[in-house]
Structure 1
C-alpha cells in the first residue's frame, strides 16, 4: 500500500506536469493537508521531495510555490538524461535486454503494426523499460528522477511529435536485442538529441507565457 507522503507526492507531481498547478502557484501545507485528508507531515515530506526534483521552490518568508523552470534549465537536464540513457542502452544491449527482452520485442511489434500512439505515456514507458533492461538499479533510479523532471517540458508536445518517436524506440529496441551496445547507444543518443531539438523549438511558446 502506498504511503501518505508518496500518495501526495504522486498527485502533486502529476498536477504540476499536466499544468493543473500553474507555475508560481503557492502551495500551502495546511490547505494541501485538508485537501488530501492528511496531516501536514506527509505534505511537508512530499514538498521536500518535489523541491529536490525541481518542481517547486521554497523561499524564506514566502513559502513554497511551483517552480518557473526555464527552457535552458530543461535542456540542461535533457543533456544529463541523454548521457545516462545512452549508457543504459549500451548496458541493456550487453545483456540483450535481460528480463525485459519480451517487452522490447513488443515495442518493435507495435511499431510494425502501426498501432496508434497515445500522447506522452509510451514515450516515457519505453525509456523506463530501457533503464530497467540495463540491469543497473542505481542508474534506473537516476533516470527515473530525470524522466519526472523533464516530463513537465513535454506537456505541449503534439501527438504527431510523440508518434514520430515510435520508430526511434523500435530501432533502439532492435539494437539492444541484437546485442549491439555501440549501435544502441548511438541510436538512443540521436533519439534524445531530436527530443532536445523539439524542446528548444517549443521553448519560448512553453516557458514565456
Structure 2
C-alpha cells in the first residue's frame, strides 16, 4: 500500500509534538524515509507542509530542522487561542449537528468517568477528540483547521498540562456542551472564554518547553528513541 504524504506528515508531526524530534533536531529526508518506510517524495511533501504550519524550518547548509519558537511566540499562541476558541464555540451553538452533539456528550461522560476514577492517562486523547469535534461543529472548515493546528502547537510548545483540575475541566466541558445543545451562542462563548482563561493561566506558569534552545528539561514526553541531531545554524 502506498503511504501518502498526508500520512507521513501526520507521523512526523506526532513525533515532533511528542518530543521524538526535539527543537533544533535535523530532519533529513533519508532519516525520515527510513523511519517511516517510504520514499523521499512523500517525505519532501510532508516537510513542506510542516514548514507552512510552523513545526519545521529550512536553514541554509542544514536543510530541514524542527523549529525552535521563542517564548514570545509561545505566549502569542495562548493569546490566539483565547480569541479563536470562544468564537468557534459560539458558532458551534448555532451550527452543530445532532451527530456532533451526541459525540460531544459521550466524550464529556467518558472524560468525567476517567477523571473521577483517576484514569488520567486516557484524558489527553479524549481532550483532543473533544476539541476537534467542537471545532468541526463550528461549521467553518477554515476555523476548525486553525483551532486544531493551534491546539497541536500549544501541546508541542508547552509541557502537558498538569491533571490537577481534571474533574473540573470536564465539568466545564459539560457546561459548554449544554449551552451548545441549547443553541445559546452567547452563553457558550462566555463559558468557553472562562475555560480558556483558566487553562491559559496554568500554561503561563510553565516555561515553554519548545522554546528552551532544544534543551528539553522538566516534564517532557521524551522516549528512548528520541532523535537529537542538532542543526547547523551557520
TM-score range normalised by the length of the shorter chain? 0.7 to 0.9
Task: Give the 5 Å matches for 1:47-66.
Answer: 47-66=47-66
> CA RMSD of the aligned region, Å?
2.4
How far residue 148 of structure 1 moved from its aligned partner, in angstroms, is 2.2
1:91 and 1:181 in contact (8 A); partners too: yes
CA distance in 1, matches of 2:105, 2:78: 26
3-state DSSP class of the match of 1:58?
strand
How far apart, in 1, do the equivalents of 2:25 and 2:143 lie? Answer: 32
**Residue 189 (structure 1) shift:** 1.1
Deviations 1:150-206 (A, max 9, x none): 221344322334554212211111111122111100111111122222221111666
More helix by share: 1
The 1:185/1:97 distance shift into structure 2, 3 A limit, reads: farther
**Helix, strand or coil for the counterpart of 2:21?**
coil
1:153 to 154, 157, 177: 157
TM (normalized to structure 2)? Answer: 0.79
Query: 5+ unaligned residues in a row in structure 2: which ranges?
Result: 216-234
Q: TM-score, normalised by structure 1?
A: 0.87
Distance 1:153 1:201 in 2: 13
Q: Distance in 1 between matches of 2:134 and 2:38?
A: 36
Distance in 1 (alpha carbons) for counterparts of 2:151 and 2:173: 16
Indicate if the aligned counterparts of 1:18 and 1:155 stay in contact, CA closer than 8 A.
no
Q: What's 2:12 paired with?
A: 12
1:202 to 206, 210, 222: 206
**For residues 195 and 71 of structure 1, what CA distance do their matches in structure 2 show?**
18
Within a 5 Å distance, the mapping from 1:106-185 to structure 2 comes to 106-110=106-110, 113=113, 114=116, 116-117=119-120, 118-185=122-189
Label 1:94 to 1:160 Cα distance change in 2 as closer, same or farther (>3 A). same
CA displacement, residues 83-122 of structure 1 (integer Å, 9 cap, x when unaligned):
2221111111124654311122224434664354424222
The number of equivalent residue pairs is: 209
Matches of 1:71 and 1:89, distance apart in 2: 27
Secondary structure of the residue aligned to 2:181 is helix
